Amino acid sequence: MRVPSTVTVGLGLAGLLTAAVPAVATPQQTGGRDAAATQRQRLVWGPCSEAQTELRAAGAECAKVAVPLDYADPGGRTIRIAVSRIKAKDPAERRGILLSNPGGPGGAGLANTLALRPALKDVAKHYDLIGFDPRFLGESSPVRCAPAGAPQQPGAVTTPRKDFDASVRSARDTARRCQEHGDNAELLPHASTRNVARDMDAIRAALGERRISYYGVSYGADLGAVYTQLFPRRADRVVIDSSTDPAATQYELFQRAGGPLEEGLDEWAGWTARHHDRYRLGRTGGQVRAHVQKLLDGAERRPVAVGGLRLNAPVLRLILRQLVQHQESDAGLAAVVRDLVDAAAGELTEPGPELTSFLQLLNSPDLADSMVGGALFMCGDGGWPAGGWPKDPETYWRNSVHSRATQPVFGPFVNGMIAPCAFWKTEPREPGVDIRNDVPVLMLQARRDNNVPYEGALALHRRLTGSRLVTADIRSHGVYGRDLDGHRPVPCADDAVNDYLRDGTLPKRDVTCADAGTAR
């Protein structure tokens, strides 16, 4: 299980107005900014790097695609985008290329399309499966920041304001470490979702393809929508899973997740109450929630000591946030809360495996550095899908305090999550992307997604006037191929995706899957 930092968790980790959209909207054009993407280049294919064990085992080949650092200056400095390829088995049945993105922002994706192959089933043979690391991530001209150093432990005694001030210092330090290191000041202004979409089109051109088919989840879903807006005639069969409201800033998306997170916690509390004999956290949902609140209230005064670490309330909220996303994690969340309650009372002898996995990650000296990628795009975007962060730290603090009345567990988390963008020295080069087009798109969304709430997907659905929406009535972030993560699959959604990628036919109308069920 990968635990994002308090900066990147929830993006959509993202969470998430509705506006009237014409029946057919006119896509915005990119002008000369995609000029370099239309130029063919000769790729040199070879074995993937030693680090790409899954790709090497699958017999994939890898190459680098040269793209402009600045698409407004196509003849200037270039960077190299790492690309992987697994060719379609039968050239006679080959449809084209299928790209993907795993989300984030900040997620490397060189092996991501390969990882989808079990879910794609027979569809995989119709496509060259193309993976890529977005610019500045993984093996794509990666940006490095100055080392963060060892994680700083909170003191034995704290307050909510002290915890918040520590997060402000951390965000300011991340901005400094990244912007002042090497030639990052020249590179970072070009870390944007628009440019990742342009890089995707450069990959298309380098491969000699007319169009791109695509699957993206979370931030990757929003990236797919951006591609349809910038390159509407080059989008083939596009699937976006768990998307957000294109009228919102990234900070607003975080904030909007607060209510659904509380609802998800209510659902979990009800499940845990039915298993009181095992977890001893209460026989009603209210009693279970009272244990959680007491745990957080105590940690806001004295962080919980466990496994050689002190866990303050923001870290506890992060752990809760990660585990409440999926209904299949209810047992794991109950076990973690039981351990934390015991640890707070000085009665825990040894943490269970679920809490231990978090402690190991939180104690990793590389954790802060591994999360820098998300900050690059959040600070480089001029608005949706990843940008739009207030500059005044007090805005986050005030919103955090006000949220406690109605969102006592998660309000302080989603409102007080200050990003390094508050201290970024450079402004985004371009505005956020305005989505208004009629490109055919298949959308997937979990109705009880508390990471990117359902209303956000409905808002994007209205903007993508050619789209169809498949809804699964589950608590989950991500709908397609859930069994790849050990979760209960939604066959109706999986079939809709594979049918579309195979045959190119969207459902005649929006679909609600009756087979989603609940994993209990």
Residues 201, 461, 477, 494: which is the catalytic one? Answer: 477
Alpha helices in 210-275 (DSSP H): 219-230, 250-256, 258-273
E strand map for 133-221 = 212-217
Contacts of 338 (CB under 8 A, 6+ apart): 279, 280, 281
Contacts of 92 (CB under 8 A, 6+ apart): none
Write out 8-19 in H/E/C secondary structure: CCCCCCCCCCCC
Q: Is 275 a catalytic residue?
A: no
Encoded tokens for 17: 């107005």
Write out 422-482 in H/E/C secondary structure: HHCCCCCCCCCCCCCECCCEEEEEECCCCCCCHHHHHHHHHHECCEEEEEECCCCCCCCCH
3-class SS at 85? strand
Between CA 520 and CA 515 the distance in angstroms is 14
Encoded tokens for 7: 């900066």
- N-terminal to C-terminal alpha carbon distance within the chain: 21
Residues 218, 243, 403, 476: which is the catalytic one? Answer: 218
Q: Is 402 a catalytic residue?
A: no
Sign of CA dihedral 508, 510, 514, 515: positive
Residues 84, 449, 461, 467: which is the catalytic one? Answer: 449
Between CA 382 and CA 240 the distance in angstroms is 22
Q: Is 329 a catalytic residue?
A: no
Contacts of 88 (CB under 8 A, 6+ apart): 94, 95, 125, 126, 127, 128
3-class SS at 472? strand
Catalytic residues: 218, 449, 477
